[in-house]
Structure 1
Amino acid sequence: MPTMALRLLTTVLYLSLISSATAEFQRILHLPKPNASLTLLAIGDWGRNGTFNQSQVAHQMGKIGEELNIDFVVSVGDNFYESGLTDVEDKSFEDSFTKIYTARSLQTQWYSVLGNHDYRGNAMAQLDPILRSIDSRWFCKRSFMVDAEIAHFFFLDTTPFVKKYWKNPKTNHYDWREVAPRKKYISNLLKDMESSLAESTATWKIVIGHHTIRSVSEHGETPELVELLLPMLINYGVDLYINGHDHCLQHISSTDSPLHFLTSGGGSKAWRGIFMPTTENLQFYYDGQGFVSLELTLAEANIKFYDVYGSVLHKWRITKEFYHYNMRR
């Protein structure tokens, strides 16, 4: 059996081993490579039937994915524009996903969260296992954890946090089925998030959500996440928070912790022309299309940002000093 097909089959088998130690965070096992390394791509704000350079970005993702031998792809939300899917038979699923990300390297598992545009349609459709029968790569839940041994990825449903989405429901439609009432849902979600983070012993802790925590672009900071989520990320030593929502690429480092904020919202429509500098440590900003790669080992993480031509715009490395210290002993 071809290597890619075998890896995808292995992942599908492990998806059947989902556990649910907490109410909201189901745990999914995804084994790293035999050498204990892990490589992935992160992309967001993409689903436009190939337009606004979505197809070009997908092409470059395929090339970089082949070079890096990626293990999976992370989608940070706003998977289908303008208003998610209408139902599980919506052709946008195939036209914006299956028929666009056709490269061999991208025929691996995709782990996805919902964005605010996804909630404007039938949010339940994207969560329906029927979509996996149409394209087995697709895995989308509101919140869950991918256990890749050396790294734990915590996928968080951030849209319900944002208060303005709950106002004027007659004119501002969002699919809040299985979410309302808001306060109870968020309270339970944060409890489960904290429990999962506290139990994690992985070398790398990476949290993924659609909305920004730190940003110098159009949407800026999300106050609800700054208040309710950010202290938890700092307290439990999270290394990376990866989001979309702003249609650009960003790297911001925290002023009071080792936490880094990555925006990978350049999957299709971009070039908003908005830059709002803050007091945060802005390492990189690009107001255009592209995506991010992560290469992880027990010793280090290498992160790169690519544009629509596949050129590396920004890269840096994080090392785990305690690992090097223990290896020298």
Structure 2
Amino acid sequence: MASIHRSGSMGYLIILAVCVFLGVASYSCAELHRFEHAPKPDGSLTLFVIGDWGRRGAYNQSQLAFQMGIVGKELDIDFVISTGDNIYPNGLIGTDDPAFEYSFTKIYTASSLQKPWYSVLGNHDYRGDALAQLSPTLRHVDKRWICLRSYVVDAQVAEFFFVDTTPLVDNYFTQPGENVYDWRGVLPRNQYISNLLRDLHFALQQSNANWKIVVGHHTILSAGYHGNTLDLQNLLLPLLQENNVDLYINGHDHCLEHISSLESGIQFLTSGGGSMAWRGVVKWWKPEEMKFYYDGQGFMSLHLTQTQLDIAFYDIFANVLHKWTTSKHLHYSTL
């Protein structure tokens, strides 16, 4: 169990307020599952981010995977992050569903991509057998596949906090339309949300990493088709702001995007161009905040050292569309 040494912190008050609002009375603490992923011997880390991809190779998924293989070899990537909507249109029907192999194993075949794929569920994944994607059985099909609801990847140079954002969005419960969602393990929803936010808050506060990066499927800020996600702005964003998160990375909108909000030090990065894109929707955004927007297919790379972070966005021809760099002093733990 995680220790709590944070009485009086604003984040803890936020969690308590959320629990009261949701009518939840249990405040026991649990730790998010953690994975250890060592950086390179020089202390650096390089990875890809891609989302909204699983279409059996269609909508340029295969072509993009080919380019990822080439760039991945050049950059010597350590792992891949998937921002969700891994299998279209309605997730998997079970652990033996061939859609997993035809949308993943037989698409991302390059040697450079034979690295761990740390993944989250998207809303389309919840329309099928969500437990199938979470099942360890899939690792027997393809050992690269790592997918839990919410968890932490400790890569020493940075910590990555993966968040299951779909249950945070009201509309999937109140206005599901013709869609049927697999809420096993999520209900009662109020309890699930309070536990998730509480555990994330404690994990973020306990982190001594110089870079804190949160990954979810849904947008917080976006000029794309889906736009901002108000539920995440209300429930998730305050925790990220208080705990000095550097990046929030998401998919959901089928585009590539970089927003640098004037109200937060967080960089908001969308990498949801893994297959179907070109929606033709770009909502107005403050020019001083919108660093980059591309309404098309592509992927993102992230390179980190203890003191520098570099991002780059690539299109389907592996052309670099946008680069951004920041640096900070090395953080020393006082514990």
Q: Same fold (TM over 0.5)?
A: yes
Distance of 2:311 and 2:54 partners within structure 1: 24
The 3 A distance-change label for structure 1 pair 53 and 24 is farther
Provide the residue aligned with 2:324 in structure 1.
316
Equivalent in 38, 42, 45 of residue 38 of structure 1: 45
TM-superposed CA distance for 1:277, in Å, is 1.4
- Is residue 2:91 matched to residue 1:84? yes
| In structure 2, C-alpha distance between the alignment counterparts of 1:301 and 1:37, rounded to whole Å | 10
Instruction: Please list every run of 5 or more consecutive structure 1 residues that lacks an aligned counterpart in the other structure.
Output: 1-20
1:70 aligned to 2:66? no
Q: CA RMSD in A?
A: 1.5
Do the aligned residues in 2 keep the contact of 1:24 with 1:143 (CA within 8 Å)? Answer: no
Q: Which amino acid in 1 is paired with 2:276?
A: K
| 3-state SS of 2:91 partner | coil
Q: What's the CA shift for 1:71? A: 0.5
The answer to whether the Cα contact below 8 Å between 2:51 and 2:251 also exists between their aligned partners in 1 is: yes
Counterpart Cα distance in 2 of 1:254 and 1:198: 22
Q: For the residues of structure 1 that align with 2:272 and 2:31, how far apart are their CA atoms?
A: 25
Letter in 2 for 1:314: H
Other-structure match for 2:281: 274
Deviation at 1:299, TM superposition (A): 1.4
| Post-superposition offset of 1:172 | 3.0
| AA of the residue aligned to 1:323 | L
Aligned-pair distance for 1:256?
2.1
Query: Is the 8 Å Cα contact of residues 258 and 292 (structure 2) preserved in structure 1?
Result: yes
Runs of 4+ in structure 1 deviating by more than 6 angstroms, as ranges, are: none
Amino acid at match of 1:139: I
Structure 2 match to 1:224: 231
Kept in 2: contact 1:156–1:209 (CA 8 A)? yes
- Partner of 2:249 in structure 1? 242
**Cα shift at 1:184:** 1.1
Following the alignment from structure 2 to structure 1, what is the Cα–Cα distance between the partners of residues 99 and 178? 24
Say yes or no: does 1:128 pair with 2:135.
yes
Provide structure 2 residue ranges, at least 5 long, that are not aligned to the other structure. 1-27
Give the share of equivalent positions with the same residue, in percent: 60
Q: Does 1:302 align with 2:310?
A: yes
Tell me how far apart the structure 1 counterparts of residues 35 and 124 of structure 2 sit (CA, whole Å). Answer: 25
Provide TM-score, normalisation by structure 1: 0.90
Structure 1 counterpart of 2:107, from 78, 100, 106: 100
Task: Give the Cα separation in 2 of the matches to 1:177 and 1:273.
Answer: 35
Aligned partner of 1:5 in structure 2 is none
SS at the partner of 2:301? strand
- Per the alignment, in what secondary structure is the counterpart of residue 256 of structure 1? coil
Q: CA deviation at 1:231?
A: 1.2
Aligned match of 2:296: 288
- Shifted more, 253-262 versus 267-276: the winner is 253-262
- Give the direction of change, closer, same or farther, for the CA distance of 1:172–1:31 in structure 2 (3 Å limit): same
Q: CA deviation at 1:170?
A: 8.1
Instruction: Indicate the residue corresponding to 1:254 in structure 2.
Output: 261
Give the match for residue 169 of structure 2. 162
Whether the aligned pair in 2 keeps the contact of 1:213 and 1:221 (CA below 8 Å) is yes
Contact 1:123–1:175 (8 Å) recurs in 2: yes
Q: 2:122 aligns with which of 104, 112, 115?
A: 115
Moved more, 169-178 or 94-103: 169-178
Equivalent residue pairs, number:
304
Q: Is the 8 A contact 2:31 2:203 kept in 1?
A: no
